[in-house]
Amino acid sequence: MKCSVGLAVVVILLSQSLIAQDRPVAHHYFSKTPHEHLAKWSYTGNTGPAFWGQLDPSYRLANSGKHQSPIDINTTTAPVSKLPELKFDYRRERIAALNNGHTIQHNEAPGSFLFVGAEKFSLEQYHVHTPSEHTLDGKPFDLEIHFVHKSTSGAVVVVGVLVQGDENAELDLPLYHDLPGTPGENVAFEGSRNPSDFLPRSRDYFSYSGSFTTPPCTEQVRWIVMKQPIGAQPKYVERFATILKANNRPVQKLNDRVVEKSK
């Protein structure tokens, strides 16, 4: 009897140490279909961001992680560093929008890449938060687009583009034309677009080490937040807000991290 109790303890300890390892490739950011999470989470009430860390053992980094995202970026104190140049080699393709209950997401077909210096990452998907998750000097923006990339070795880079509603915006947003209003709905559109249309002209950026902003909030995500926001017609911004309500995790503590800027 004593032995089986001991064995159970060993099994529990082993399973906890397995959970403790980062498994970014298994994260739902790379899931191409709607799916059940380990535990239901949301942006409000008792399954909201303040409780994510308690909803499931695998979500514990949401509470205990020291390198969590998003953050507020102090644009003045961030030191200028010789950061690698960004090259977006995205290709034009037909857009499909999936409402997965947490965001509206486009899943990429293979063939679009981001180069960070000599490192190559494939674009896996992009999705939208409203209002923005990252803030600049305490200021939130109307939307934030996250372009999620992965290298062949499993390293993850997320590019954040801040979007502000602007009547004079030349950019023909929306990203997805008409939006899927209900969870599970997937809408494919005629015509095609290049996701690089949703990048600012300037390639200057902020860089820091963070996490996914949704459970399980896995760390060791390299964040690239573009310095220059883009403008979008207010009616599109409002449409996202109507469907998604507020799907932004509050900003997290910087702790020992330094945010660098390219210029």
Please tell me the distance from the alpha carbon of residue 89 to that of residue 118, in angstroms, as a whole number.
13
> Both tokens of residue 154?
């499993």
Binding letters toward Zn ion, positions 43-82, x by CB under 5 A: ----------------------------------------
Closer to Zn ion by Cβ: residue 92 or 241: 241
Closer to Zn ion by Cβ: residue 31 or 92: 31
Q: How far is the CB of 190 from Zn ion (least distance, A)?
A: 27
E strands in 81-155: 86-89, 93-99, 104-107, 113-116, 119-129, 135-136, 143-150
- 27 binds Zn ion, rule: CB under 5 A: no
Q: Is 102 a catalytic residue?
A: yes
Instruction: Using CB under 5 A, pick the residue from 134, 146, 227, 239 that binds Zn ion.
Output: 146
Buried b (16+ CB within 10 A) or exposed e, 114-141: bebeeeebbbbbbbbbbbbbbbbeeebb
Active-site hit among 27, 102, 129, 134: 102
What torsion, rounded to 10 degrees, do the Cα atoms 16, 251, 240, 228 define?
-120
Closer to Zn ion by Cβ: residue 146 or 222: 146
- 222 binds Zn ion, rule: CB under 5 A: no
8-state DSSP, 175: S
- 150 binds Zn ion, rule: CB under 5 A: no
**Segment interacting with Zn ion (CB under 5 A) among 15-23, 31-39, 67-75, 145-153:** 145-153
Query: How far from chain centre, in Å, is Cα 125?
Result: 10
List residues near Zn ion by CB under 5 A. 146
